[in-house]
């Protein structure tokens, strides 16, 4: 047995300032690449934990310029539903709008409107567009047996696939319409543009978007029996990337699953690992980004339970620079940690606990002794393990299970936007100190100084 070397985490170091030509934090560019094909405007990703990210959190992060990853601790159908909600939130073109047949009754139309939470439907007859019906057409109709064709607007203004946003705005403005169906030469519906989505696009210029103007979102899978079925369903739902979510990314099965999913044509993120060997093993399997972090998360008990791990800052430094994108996962409790993770070589940073307890995180607010809380748990906790088996039909042996995650109440924090802005403010400030106009320069210029115990006290760190 031997000691390999000393390793450091965020509070062990400070970034060394440089003479800087960057005079304002608003001059810096915080954009990054999650994978070589997916660009983000900020290097923040919300964790695929069931008390952190469902569609509301994913939408908020994507609108801010980052991305959310929908957790896998539910049925395949539910995870797909969450992905679809994100992809439909903001879109230049709704490529697969909900449609209705002209012979459908108004009663059935109302049921669909409530179920899909959609107020307008293109009306089809043998796949061809023959009209459009909106809530104002059927809202006060009393005859539930009346057919859609009796109330729909028949003279529909349309356009073609490939129309630019500005052209669509012009048509909608000129004709005072809120819905613009797109049809091919045979009159078949190929998509739809709505005024709501146009307004949203104008209001979120920094949002992370796919090639069709929709918000970027990721889905997650495990390495269990349903991994291939789940991955195919998420890809069909047009998730932008798939995360192979495993606490131990060193397992041969993890690399095998990466190879399988890459064959489906997806962008794949996998982990977790903490060393260069782990990164290279997944890189060989074809991964597009590696999650780095064994045990630094606040809800993770891997280190005290298994005695396995690697201090996070040194882990990021060792894992970066191997010609594959790196996502730092865990240990971020303040903006300084976020800045140091990027400076050390991370292309993006996954946030869990900091985003828990916000308006956008799943769960209800609990009041205890006049203080508001929300529930937060690690996905290797006992109840998470048990719940996963109930929701995904995976067998659970609780007697033989040693939890490596905690469960707790986190004080309610308000909107996640405030936390995102705080993290970005710290990063932008750090970039000005290091004469870095962009994240590439920030990493290049970064040098760390190791702190003594007195230095930690001077830096206001708890020791």
- Across the strands, what pairs with 133? 121
Indicate whether 440 belongs to any domain: yes
**Of 146, 180, 203, which marks where a domain is finished?**
203
Q: Which two tokens stand for residue 409?
A: 């109440």
Indicate whether 154 belongs to any domain: yes
Read off the CATH number of the domain in which 402 is found: 3.20.20.70
- Across the strands, what pairs with 29? 438
Q: What is the pLDDT of residue 382?
A: 46
Q: State whether 132 and 257 are in the same domain.
A: no
10-residue stretch averages of pLDDT, the chain, 463 residues long: 80 96 94 98 96 96 97 95 91 82 91 88 91 89 90 90 83 90 90 80 81 92 95 97 96 97 98 96 98 87 85 97 96 96 98 94 87 75 52 54 66 94 98 98 98 92 64
Q: State whether 132 and 245 are in the same domain.
A: no
What is the value of pTM for the model shown? 0.78
Q: State whether 183 and 316 are in the same domain.
A: no
Indicate whether 302 belongs to any domain: yes
User: Rounded to whole angstroms, how far apart are CA atoms 198 and 164?
Assistant: 11
Q: State whether 73 and 128 are in the same domain.
A: no
**Of 203, 233, 268, which marks where a domain is finished?**
203
* 300 included as an active-site residue: yes
**Of 182, 203, 224, which marks where a domain is finished?**
203
Q: State whether 79 and 226 are in the same domain.
A: yes
Q: Which two tokens stand for residue 332?
A: 């971020």
Q: State whether 197 and 217 are in the same domain.
A: no
Residue span of the structural domain in which 84 resides: 10-90+206-458
Per DSSP, the residues of 305-351 read: HH-----HHHHHHHHSSSSSEEEEES---SHHHHHHHHHHT-SEEEE
Indicate whether 238 belongs to any domain: yes
Indicate whether 309 belongs to any domain: yes
Per DSSP, the residues of 231-289 read: HHHHHHTT-SEEEEE-S-TTSHHHHHHHHHHHTTT--EEEEEE-SHHHHHHHHHHT-SE
| CA 454, 460, 461, 463 torsion-angle sign | positive
Q: State whether 154 and 229 are in the same domain.
A: no
Q: State whether 59 and 184 are in the same domain.
A: no
Read off the CATH number of the domain in which 141 is found: 3.10.580.10
Q: State whether 134 and 184 are in the same domain.
A: yes
Q: State whether 312 and 367 are in the same domain.
A: yes
Q: Per the residue annotation, which of 94, 148, 300, 341 is the catalytic one?
A: 300
């Amino acid at each position: 047995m031997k000691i390999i070397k000393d390793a450091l985490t965020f509070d062990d170091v400070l970034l060394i300032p440089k003479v800087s030509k960057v005079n304002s934090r608003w001059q810096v560019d915080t954009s990054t690449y999650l994978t070589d094909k997916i660009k983000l405007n900020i290097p923040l990703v919300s964790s695929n934990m069931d008390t952190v990210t469902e569609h509301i959190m994913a939408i908020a992060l994507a609108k801010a310029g980052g991305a959310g990853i929908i957790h896998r601790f539910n049925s395949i159908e539910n995870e797909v539903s969450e992905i679809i909600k994100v992809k439909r939130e903001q879109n230049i073109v709704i490529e697969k709008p909900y449609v209705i047949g002209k012979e459908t009754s108004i009663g059935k139309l109302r049921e669909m409107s409530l179920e899909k939470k959609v107020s307008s439907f293109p009306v089809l007859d043998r796949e061809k567009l023959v009209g459009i019906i909106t809530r104002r057409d059927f809202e006060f109709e009393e005859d539930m047996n009346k057919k859609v064709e009796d109330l729909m607007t028949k003279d529909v203004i349309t356009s073609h696939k490939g129309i630019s946003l500005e052209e669509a705005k012009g048509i909608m403005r000129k004709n005072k319409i809120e819905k613009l169906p797109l049809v091919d030469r045979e009159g078949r519906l190929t998509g739809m543009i709505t005024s709501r989505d146009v307004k949203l696009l104008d209001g979120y210029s920094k949002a992370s978007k796919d090639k069709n103007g929709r918000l970027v979102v990721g889905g997650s899978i495990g390495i269990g029996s349903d991994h291939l079925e789940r991955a195919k369903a998420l890809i069909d739902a047009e998730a932008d990337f798939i995360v192979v979510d495993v606490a131990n990314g060193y397992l041969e099965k993890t690399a095998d699953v990466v190879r399988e999913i890459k064959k489906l044509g997806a962008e794949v993120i996998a982990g977790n690992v903490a060393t260069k060997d782990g990164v290279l093993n997944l890189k060989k399997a074809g991964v597009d980004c590696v999650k780095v972090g064994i045990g630094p998360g606040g809800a993770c008990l891997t280190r005290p339970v298994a005695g396995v791990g690697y201090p996070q800052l040194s882990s990021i430094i060792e894992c970066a620079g191997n010609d594959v994108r790196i996502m730092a996962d865990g240990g971020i409790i303040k903006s300084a940690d976020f800045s140091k993770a990027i400076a050390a070589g991370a292309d993006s940073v996954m946030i869990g606990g900091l985003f828990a307890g916000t308006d956008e995180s799943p769960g209800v607010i609990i009041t205890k002794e006049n203080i508001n809380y929300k529930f937060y748990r690690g996905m290797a906790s006992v109840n998470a393990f048990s719940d996963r088996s109930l929701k995904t039909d995976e067998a659970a042996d609780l007697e033989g299970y040693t939890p490596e995650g905690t469960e707790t109440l986190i004080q309610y924090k308000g909107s996640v936007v405030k936390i995102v802005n705080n993290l970005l403010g710290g990063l932008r400030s750090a970039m000005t100190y290091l004469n870095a106009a962009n994240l590439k320069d920030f990493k290049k210029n970064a040098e760390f100084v190791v702190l003594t115990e007195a230095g930690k006290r001077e830096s206001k760190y708890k020791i």
